[in-house]
Structure 1
């Protein structure tokens, strides 16, 4: 499921976009100001950001500049500003697209699909290294030294979801949806069972995990570690 962060100070726009995106099976989170948006991105990296420029605290241009300081997440500027200079500035600062208010939902959805496809095509291979453990996420291959470690397809889906956002918290409902699909967001026992198996296979001491960490009742994270891309 594609995770979209909508950043706008207009409650009506947040509500409209949330309803329309969720109806098309997008996961949506909203922020009414720039600082909240940056915090959300820091905690849960979205797949696409829809960013208004006229925010009450930080200007959207400032938010875009800060985002580009640490992430290449696709950003579509959604703004009432229609002057060419505004568009050029946003695009020069790293925005992937610019759409002017008012806009049609279908056009916005098409632009989200385009930047999502572009990001998926450009997504690099990922190898996570932790001591003598090597997790080749792209090739679904785990080794410790010369020993190959077998993970099931479900276990690899969990590992990949966490590895793509390593160091960041992935909430339980998000992880369940990513691995099992819609309708499983409350089945936390599934995660408990499979993460216990993953730890037995990959952690030096499964009873004291240092790689696959849990924040009880909130979510899970893969501890930040060396990675080769």
Structure 2
């Protein structure tokens, strides 16, 4: 589900779950555990196969229904925040599509290198909202452009993502992992305590908003995802995609 490669003092955590690393309850829990347990000086977060992550596994949502949603959405936020709050440097190596939750996962990293695919927030196109943690992570990454990304569901190519700061570097596929490792190594040379405190300070506005709003916003998000009408609409959306 997540493979770990060691490159000196850097851990490469690679999502390896199905064809497109879709985010389900098990993968979210695995991300949280893997990021939280690594003892490496820095982390490179990558995807196996043709995608970084294509976002939430909507088929699991439909199959699991309201009870699954109630367990899954908090686990999704926990996985995002495990990356965002990690005291160690985290570099995202985006070698393929990073859609919806995959986009948020990449945005939670300290630095994002992209070589191909598309990246964007598409949840509203399916008719469901994001938990507050996801939106605050995106707002931290791209500022006022978060509203346009969320409201339009636009999927950007690497150059478009670079233009708005959603990624920091665009490289070729062959350069992706070497460049991500080089960036992680440079971060790891910074004294760890100083890096961790500075990261905490830089992230504080986003984390303050998350903690202030989760108890009111997230229950409303879960409730919208759980409605029979919305689950039926997601099923119809998936059916249309398969035709």
User: Is the structural similarity TM-score above 0.5?
Assistant: no
* Structure 1 or 2: more helix by fraction: 2
TM score, norm. by length of structure 2:
0.32
Higher alpha-carbon Rg: 1
Name the structure with the higher strand share. 1
Relative to the length of structure 1, the TM-score reads 0.34
Higher RCO (Cα < 8 Å, 6 or more apart)? 2
